[in-house]
Structure 1
Amino acid sequence: MKHCYHLTIAIILLGVDVHHASAELRLAGIFSDHMVLQREQPIHIWGWADADEKVTVSFADQTETAIAGKNGAWSVSLKPLKAASVGRSLQVETGDQRIVTQNVLVGEVWHASGQSNMAMTIGAMAKQLDSVAMDIAAADLPQLRFCRINEPESPEPLDDLRKQSTWTVCSPKTVSRFSGAAFYFARRIHAELNIPIGVIDSSHGGTPIEPFIPRAAFNSHPTLKKELELGDREDLEGIWKLPGGVRARSTTWLPGRLFNSRLAPISRFGIHGAIWYQGESNSGVQEDPRDYQYKMRALINGWRQEFGNAKLPAYYVQLPGSGAGEGWPYLREQQRLATDLPHTGMVVTVDLDGAGVHPPNKIDVGERLARWALAKHYGRSIPFSGPMFERQEIHGDKIILHFSHAETGLMVADKVGLAEPRETPEAELLYFEVTDASGKWHPAKAEIEGKKVVVTSEEVTSPIAVRYAYAVNPENCNLYNHDGLPASPFCSRPELLIYDPKLPPSSQSGR
């Protein structure tokens, strides 16, 4: 009797009609109550049933049928739908079984991934920022839905999630468990569009970029090819010793392992775009940040291939100024160099207050991510990027720097906490350095002239390059545009930057 009771409860939780329980009909694990489906795209619904079984799928006045294959797999595609904030039921039936998924919305769906700074929750933020408590109290936002994918790694791509997903409706009681960066991103998008927003969070603390890159994308660069070869042999030490490799501490860190378990099973689930916050575990102690730009391109291009959208928007966060590893300045530059991919954008955070690996201000992070999406893909006329180095001109002992996203002009400003940056025209620009053919970097004076910055140094008469904010902890970086967005750290000639984790910091250029 006790066994039957537990079976009935399990069937009810799965949404299967109790009177027809055989557990043969199954929806893919990403489909569950309270989910958000992507608007204005074909909606793919898939799962498993008995071989040759006819499956009928109904949602929003559409009905489609499919015949399960020899392995039991079936799939249907529903026609694109407009956003809908009223919950509806998705029904899947065979001759004697039925699954009903309740309270399904249609809106915008985004992937959020990376490592611990993406995983950092609203609750963790609230322990350090008093104002977050007010955001928690005001988080009665039922059109925001979050799905946390927390699968362990897999050496092969999985057909389905090992565990049924859970979509959680945003409320003051649930929001503390959500990713802070993803929540503030989603909240801003929802406020602007007034439609449902779904976030699928697949982040994993303490991991490098490699496990999130799909296998096929490792063919894009020699370092990646070698990492995949060593990863297939589970040679963690070999990957660690590889120039441009990574200190793989377990098999979870190996190429493709988290994509295989967390993203491959849901690659057919429609999304609008992706946000990414990672890099710490490719540039910490005894970790080698070289070639990260190629890894970043492989990640984005690989996801686009796997998700079937060559123009998938992808916005990522540059490492903050509260550096925790010697390789952080070099990795920030590698992240900047990856911005040449179309339909991408990089959020600069080097100006935000905070200490250590996990600075608590994910409010500005999420808002700045949302600016990119709103401006580039939702048609909003808002500023979305701070100054980005474009080119240099050398005139004797001066280097003149030109920037994109400087149309409103440049300014020296100070940002304190969560407040908007305040212009401080009397202050000097910080963290500018120049070098000559000797390769040694010297502190420099930098002055704004409209949309340009002129850089000189008393110690360098024949400069060849400039760099900005190239330091582990560059506090109070103060170059902004008049839109109040910070300039990215940069080197005008990146090939001059030297990084080798085998050398002591004092022997490396500018360390």
Structure 2
Amino acid sequence: MNYRVHLIILTFLLGVGTRDASAELRLAGIFADHMVLQRDQPVHIWGWADAGQKVTVFFTDQTEKVVANQNGVWSVTFKPMKADPQGRQLRVESGGQSIVFDDVLVGEVWHASGQSNMAMNVDAMAKELEAVAKDISAADLPILRFCRINEPESSQPLDDLRQRATWTVCDPTTVSRFSGVAFYFARRLHAELNVPIGMIDSSRGGTPIEPYIPREAFDSHPTLKKELELGDRGDLDAIWKMPGGVRARDANWLPGRLFYSRLAPISRFGVRGAIWYQGESNSGVQEDPRDYQHKMRALINGWRQAFGDRKLPVYFVQLPGSGAGEGWPYLREQQRLAADLPHTGMVVSVDLDGAGIHPPNKIDVGERLARWALAKDYGRSIAFSGPVFERQEIQGDSVVIHFSHAENGLMVSDKKGLAEPRETPGDELAYFEVVDKSGKWHPATAVLDGKQVAVSCKDVLSPIAVRYAYAINPENCNLYNRDGLPASPFCSRPELLTYDPKLPE
């Protein structure tokens, strides 16, 4: 076990027998040696003991006492604490038993979740990127801590993890096992904030979004309601065949199943926010990306309700071009549409080089996610988003596109590997199209005009909308703002996009 349980049996020491220890004192499974507690928020500590038993919890200069209820559940709340890189003991005592967790820090804690591109670890990155080997050697960062939650699915919300979590200290011998996105996100936060950073990784490869959405949030949209109904029947084929459904390969893919097992048991553990990288398994072969924006909203709102924080920041990654299938362009647009929720942010990755469904450059992904957190949650004056479609203005035979996050202007740029984007003013903007009144899309010419882009096509005299980078793998997307961040793929009138996946008979 990664914690120490001391049985202090006073009656035994007096020679008069031992205490009935049928109900062992325990804490929730998320608590362990080397963990990080969230600073500047009330800190909840909870667990189980004999019903009616007094429980005392000690940490730093605070002591809290409580009596376990009739079900043996107890909970205390410590007052908010400042960041502290000095490892301290968390001690709990009850009925002659004592539990001690060592090397507990106070700092910033974030959830990291999604599917395999979030789960892809630093070692896998190092096999394809030489620069990562240097980062591994330099990863002597003892106040970075990583916790991997790897529970199997559950059909009901669990009140605790089945197996106690392990919090791992970051150093050159351990960092290779960490999520690459989470590591580079945490490393950037640490460099800027100089406080302990804790990352809780609950990702699982190959999974769609549905198993991570809390059950209550499935009431938010008809597609979700139908998926939940079919999931309760265990009808995986019907979920796959329904419009906007998902290919549920086994129980791990059913609504709520991974939220129940991996997140519900730790929902009271204080965090600053969450990062999310997922979508591939909602838009692959014979998988239907329609209504993904509503699923994304359900995930975010559901987590906020479950974690008791209606403003919980959630920053997510729009799918890259590497390894893409035919449904990915549509899903990228769905992700963009979901980004209008307050306290969310979307990282664009379509400009990053890579091969296969797991592009190795998680460095830029983690850094771009960190920019959102630094700007929005830590008050840093830093650019955090590339150009995002705001509105269109039709001017005769051209369409002028206005962007947010273009205050310093736009530029045509080229990004190679891990290098910063390099402005290439002589190059034409790529991947712009206009649609005519019949619904046919045509390649178009796009010209920078200050903070806007003017788009036209000689074959379309009366364009009605524009789309950008709507392709399976739009290589060399080259529209950036002058802060060096890429524009998101977009359609100026999303209702004109149609997608008809080849679903099973």
Whichever residue aligns with residue 17 of structure 1, its letter is: H
- Whole-angstrom distance in 1 between the partners of 2:238 and 2:503: 19
Whichever residue aligns with residue 431 of structure 2, its letter is: Y
1:365 equivalenced with 2:365 (yes/no)? yes
In the TM superposition, residue 249 of structure 1 has moved relative to its aligned partner by 0.4
Whichever residue aligns with residue 327 of structure 1, its letter is: G
Aligned to 2:230: 230
CA contact (8 A) 1:115 1:277 kept: yes
Write out per-residue CA displacement over residues 9-53 of structure 1, whole angstroms, 9 at most, x where no aligned residue: x6xx44101555947100100000000000011110000111111
Per the normalisation by structure 1, the TM-score is: 0.95
Give every structure 1 segment of 4 or more consecutive aligned residues whose post-TM-superposition deviation is greater than 2 Å: 18-23
- Whole-angstrom distance in 2 between the partners of 1:362 and 1:502: 31
SS in 1 for 2:117: helix
1:215 equivalenced with 2:215 (yes/no)? yes
CA contact (8 A) 1:322 1:474 kept: no
CA contact (8 A) 2:240 2:503 kept: no
- Whole-angstrom distance in 1 between the partners of 2:328 and 2:163: 36
Write out per-residue CA displacement over residues 185-211 of structure 1, whole angstroms, 9 at most, x where no aligned residue: 000001101000000000000000000
- Whole-angstrom distance in 1 between the partners of 2:177 and 2:322: 24
Aligned to 1:342: 342
Structure 2 unaligned blocks of 5 or more: 10-18
In the TM superposition, residue 322 of structure 1 has moved relative to its aligned partner by 1.3
- Whole-angstrom distance in 2 between the partners of 1:322 and 1:498: 22
1:302 equivalenced with 2:291 (yes/no)? no
1:108 equivalenced with 2:97 (yes/no)? no
In the TM superposition, residue 502 of structure 1 has moved relative to its aligned partner by 2.6
- Whole-angstrom distance in 2 between the partners of 1:226 and 1:417: 43
- Whole-angstrom distance in 2 between the partners of 1:59 and 1:220: 41
Write out per-residue CA displacement over residues 395-442 of structure 1, whole angstroms, 9 at most, x where no aligned residue: 111001000000010100000000000000000100001111111111
1:17 equivalenced with 2:6 (yes/no)? yes
1:89 equivalenced with 2:89 (yes/no)? yes
- Whole-angstrom distance in 2 between the partners of 1:212 and 1:503: 23
1:185 equivalenced with 2:185 (yes/no)? yes
Aligned to 2:14: none
Per the normalisation by structure 2, the TM-score is: 0.96
Structure 1 unaligned blocks of 5 or more: 1-9, 505-511
- Whole-angstrom distance in 1 between the partners of 2:262 and 2:74: 21
- Whole-angstrom distance in 1 between the partners of 2:94 and 2:214: 34
Aligned to 2:28: 28
Aligned to 2:132: 132
In the TM superposition, residue 459 of structure 1 has moved relative to its aligned partner by 1.5
Q: CA RMSD in A?
A: 1.2
- Whole-angstrom distance in 2 between the partners of 1:79 and 1:214: 29
* 1:421-432 → structure 2 map (5 Å cutoff): 421-432=421-432
Whichever residue aligns with residue 91 of structure 1, its letter is: R
Instruction: Say how many residue pairs are matched.
Output: 493
Aligned to 1:290: 290
Aligned to 1:5: none
Percent identity between the aligned chains?
Answer: 78
- Whole-angstrom distance in 2 between the partners of 1:366 and 1:64: 38
- Whole-angstrom distance in 1 between the partners of 2:390 and 2:377: 23
CA contact (8 A) 2:4 2:101 kept: yes
Aligned to 1:6: none
* 1:154-173 → structure 2 map (5 Å cutoff): 154-173=154-173
* 1:204-283 → structure 2 map (5 Å cutoff): 204-283=204-283
In the TM superposition, residue 355 of structure 1 has moved relative to its aligned partner by 1.4
Aligned to 1:468: 468
- Whole-angstrom distance in 2 between the partners of 1:380 and 1:61: 31
Aligned to 2:152: 152
In the TM superposition, residue 324 of structure 1 has moved relative to its aligned partner by 2.4
CA contact (8 A) 1:318 1:348 kept: yes
SS in 2 for 1:340: coil
- Whole-angstrom distance in 1 between the partners of 2:503 and 2:276: 30
Aligned to 2:398: 398
In the TM superposition, residue 325 of structure 1 has moved relative to its aligned partner by 1.4
- Whole-angstrom distance in 2 between the partners of 1:272 and 1:451: 34
CA contact (8 A) 1:409 1:482 kept: yes
SS in 1 for 2:371: helix
Write out per-residue CA displacement over residues 350-389 of structure 1, whole angstroms, 9 at most, x where no aligned residue: 1000012100000000000000000111010010000000
Whichever residue aligns with residue 299 of structure 1, its letter is: L
1:419 equivalenced with 2:419 (yes/no)? yes
- Whole-angstrom distance in 2 between the partners of 1:14 and 1:398: 67
In the TM superposition, residue 155 of structure 1 has moved relative to its aligned partner by 0.4
Aligned to 2:389: 389
Write out per-residue CA displacement over residues 142-190 of structure 1, whole angstroms, 9 at most, x where no aligned residue: 0100000000000000000000000000000000000000000000001
- Whole-angstrom distance in 2 between the partners of 1:18 and 1:65: 19
- Whole-angstrom distance in 2 between the partners of 1:400 and 1:236: 46
- Whole-angstrom distance in 2 between the partners of 1:228 and 1:423: 48
SS in 2 for 1:299: helix
SS in 2 for 1:92: strand
